[in-house]
Amino acid sequence: MLYDIEIFPESLKNMPPKMLTPEPHIHPTSRIAKSRLGEYTDIGPNCTLVETLFDDYSYAAGDVSIIYSQVGKFCSIASHVRINPGNHPMERPTQHHFTYRRRQYGFASNDDEAFFQWRSDHYCVIGHDVWIGHGAIVMPGVKVGTGAVIGSGAVVTKDVNPYEIVAGVPARPIKRRFSPEISEKLLAIAWWDWERKTLEERFADFLNLDIFIAKYYKK
């Protein structure tokens, strides 16, 4: 026997649809520290952002962890993505964090600030309009170009070019979204920097690439 379930729990039935505003939308189960969020951003459930710039219109679907990173505008980050996972000191006799989180274990009155500085110095930079698929990992210090796509489950260990699609472990280029000529034109248009009013006025043009480039690319 099969049961028809329209919605569960019932409390969701009368919940109004989510409407984003200039003020960031942050799910109450998420945790954010020392970070800056842009307008119309959306942080889903159980996300963690630490020392991160998360720019306008970008969203994290849920269970996303981002530390020491810069995420551009209009980025689409699927669930369970990890950007800049923490490294351990493999060159020491032990990799365990008691050697740098010393205070927790009572080995010293101060933590290893030099090690944490090394972590924060290996910043990840995600360009604009980047799509990162479910469960992907972007390793410390990696730069992902504007318009790129990271396949689900990929482990990105090297920089990704603008409008390039990469996948696999380690991630390798699969193909380009567009030709180099079209990519260069989109980068020149830089539509992600348009003001809200301009986006609203030109919204319909985003639905057709040829029309979009013909109208807004200036040599």
List 88, 97, 122, 134, catalytic entry: 88
What is the longest distance spanned by two Cα atoms in the chain?
Answer: 65
Contacts of 95 (CB under 8 A, 6+ apart): 88, 89
Angstrom distance (rounded) from CA 65 to CA 84:
8
Angstrom distance (rounded) from CA 139 to CA 36:
21
Could you tell me the two tokens for 98?
A: 């008691």
Catalytic: 122?
no
Active site residues per annotation:
88
